[in-house]
């Protein structure tokens, strides 16, 4: 059994908690959250802060507000635990650097919660791109067009920039884009907040350039209830109904691929020929569970983190630039 602590029992922490409790190889030895301290949750003792616990745990899952990630990660590493910290890795690049330094100094690992890397559809897309079936990717277009319910923004930390769709949602897209196409070399964009008029990002358009010379556009908005966005298209979240629609179109020198429907178009040499479409079927899995299983392997020394703090820092760097470009 791998013994885990969990800090934070909000929106995402609750899901981690249930997956740990249900898993036959994981044991939840304590829960830390000032909002629920001194109550027992599902037979597990709760604590007000990480300072209060002297528990024997192999690792900790940090599902706390973003501005606590760096300090809690460093504290946990110094207490001798491996850390699975939610995305974004930290609120700033300086904080991320301190986390990388603490991990190197203590020898304990940091895995960052970019759980889409564990999604079978993401892994199949990486395989298709690498197989050359669409040739060399030259351009792509991604949509993230979801409407969040107004109550979502009633939590204090979500009222400002940290609650906007760039740091909350596009950060996952940027992480998977890096897995698909390599590093981002430039970011330009524009944004508006005409619907909610809140002091944070709402809608915007971005152009990303990649080291390979590929160009990708993103349109995003958290004020429109369309079927087009990763969560809706894949059904990865139990709270967001699955629409099975494509939200990204990838164009290569030999054809195209729609994501996440995996509709693969190829066979045409130019526009006078009609491409044919085939669709891949991929078995389903719950990425948050796969990520916990990967964390257990990292703890046992059998694997290196798929997304470590250094990789997540690169994603954060792109996200901070997108935030700057698209701030209304």
Ligand X SMILES: NC(=O)c1ccc[n+]([C@@H]2O[C@H](COP(=O)([O-])OP(=O)(O)OC[C@H]3O[C@@H](n4cnc5c(N)ncnc54)[C@H](O)[C@@H]3O)[C@@H](O)[C@H]2O)c1
Question: Which residues are near ligand X by CB under 6 A?
Answer: 7-13, 32-35, 49, 63-66, 68, 86-87, 113, 115, 155, 168
> Is the previous residue joined to 88 through a cis bond, with omega within 30 degrees of 0?
yes
Q: Based on CB atoms, which residue is closest to ligand X, 103 or 168?
A: 168
Instruction: Give the closest residue to 295 by CA, choosing from 103, 87, 107, 85.
Output: 85
Q: Based on CB atoms, which residue is closest to ligand X, 1 or 11?
A: 11
Instruction: Give the closest residue to 16 by CA, choosing from 63, 66, 82.
Output: 63
Q: Which two tokens stand for residue 74?
A: 């460093």
Q: Based on CB atoms, which residue is closest to ligand X, 115 or 117?
A: 115
CA distance 108 to 147: 39
CB of 114 to ligand X, least distance (A): 8
Phi/psi class of residue 165: alpha, beta or left (left: φ > 0; alpha: ψ in -120 to 50)? alpha
Radius of gyration of the chain (CA): 20
Q: Based on CB atoms, which residue is closest to ligand X, 8 or 256?
A: 8
Q: Based on CB atoms, which residue is closest to ligand X, 233 or 255?
A: 233
CB of 111 to ligand X, least distance (A): 12
For the chain, report the end-to-end CA distance as a whole number of angstroms: 48
CB of 60 to ligand X, least distance (A): 10
CB of 161 to ligand X, least distance (A): 12
Are 33 and 14 a contacting pair, CB within 8 Å? Answer: no
Q: Based on CB atoms, which residue is closest to ligand X, 155 or 188?
A: 155
Torsion of CA 243, 244, 248, 252, to 10 degrees: -170
Residue at token pair 């884009």? 177
Find the residue with minimal CB distance to ligand X.
10
CB of 139 to ligand X, least distance (A): 28
Element (H, E) at 286: none
CB of 182 to ligand X, least distance (A): 23
Please list the alpha-helical segments (H only) found in 199-279. 230-234
Torsion of CA 148, 150, 154, 160, to 10 degrees: 60
CB of 265 to ligand X, least distance (A): 30
Q: Based on CB atoms, which residue is closest to ligand X, 210 or 311?
A: 311
């Amino acid at each position: 059994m791998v013994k885990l602590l969990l800090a934070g029992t909000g929106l995402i922490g609750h899901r981690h908690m249930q997956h740990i409790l249900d898993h036959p190889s994981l044991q939840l030895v304590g829960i830390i959250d000032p909002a629920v301290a001194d109550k027992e949750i599902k037979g597990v003792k709760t604590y007000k802060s990480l300072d209060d616990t002297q528990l024997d745990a192999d690792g900790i899952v940090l599902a706390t507000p973003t501005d606590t990630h760096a300090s809690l990660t460093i504290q946990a590493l110094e207490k001798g635990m491996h850390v699975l910290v939610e995305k974004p890795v930290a609120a700033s690049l300086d904080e991320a650097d301190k986390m990388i330094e603490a991990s190197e100094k203590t020898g304990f690992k940091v895995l960052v919660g970019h759980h889409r890397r564990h999604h079978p559809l993401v892994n199949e897309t990486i395989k298709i791109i690498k197989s050359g079936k669409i040739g060399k990717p030259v351009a792509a277009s991604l949509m993230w067009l979801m409407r969040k319910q107004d109550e979502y923004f009633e939590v204090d930390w979500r009222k400002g920039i940290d609650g906007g769709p760039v740091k909350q949602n596009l950060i996952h897209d940027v992480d998977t884009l890096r897995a698909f196409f390599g590093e981002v070399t430039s970011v330009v964009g524009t944004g508006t907040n005409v619907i909610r008029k809140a002091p944070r990002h709402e809608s915007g358009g971005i152009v990303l350039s990649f080291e390979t010379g590929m160009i990708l556009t993103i349109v995003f908005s958290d004020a429109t209830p369309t079927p087009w966005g990763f969560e809706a298209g894949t059904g990865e979240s139990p709270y967001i109904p699955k629409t099975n629609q494509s939200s990204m179109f990838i164009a290569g020198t030999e054809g195209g691929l729609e994501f996440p429907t995996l509709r693969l178009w190829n066979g045409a040499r130019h526009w006078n020929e009609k491409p044919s479409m085939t669709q891949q079927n991929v078995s389903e899995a719950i990425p948050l569970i796969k990520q916990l299983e990967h964390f257990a392997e990292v703890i046992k020394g059998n694997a290196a983190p798929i997304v470590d703090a250094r990789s997540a820092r690169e994603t954060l760097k792109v996200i901070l630039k997108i935030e700057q470009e698209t701030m209304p």
